Amino acid sequence: MAHFAKINGQGFVEKVVVVNNNELLDENGVEQEQLGFEFLQNLFGRNTIWVQTSYNNSFRRSYAAIGYTYNKKYDIFIEPAPSEQHEFNYETQEWELPEGDA
């Protein structure tokens, strides 16, 4: 099964759905994320944005969940900050406290 996150205009994950792998297969039997995206747009509307997420975190950093953010530039899902003081370090892809706050 493939998992897709619905992303709103601000990059927040609003929903995660499961799609049968058969919906992602092209004419050569190869999975294509774009086919899942199109399948979901046919179900939920052309103006919706869907991004595949990995249940075992094998791509896009982490499995998406409601409230997470999708960063298009880095092509990753980011969980909410542990606290207001934390800043996300895109180099390490981890939440960190600024120097002096640790």
Compute the chain's Rg from CA coordinates: 16
Closest CA to 40 of 55, 30, 28, 52: 52
* Torsion sign across C-alpha atoms 82, 86, 87, 91: negative
Domains of the chain, residue spans: 2-96
Q: What is the pLDDT of residues 17-76, one digit of tens each?
A: 999 999 999 999 999 999 999 999 999 999 999 999 999 989 999 999 999 999 999 999
Give me the pLDDT at residue 99, please: 80
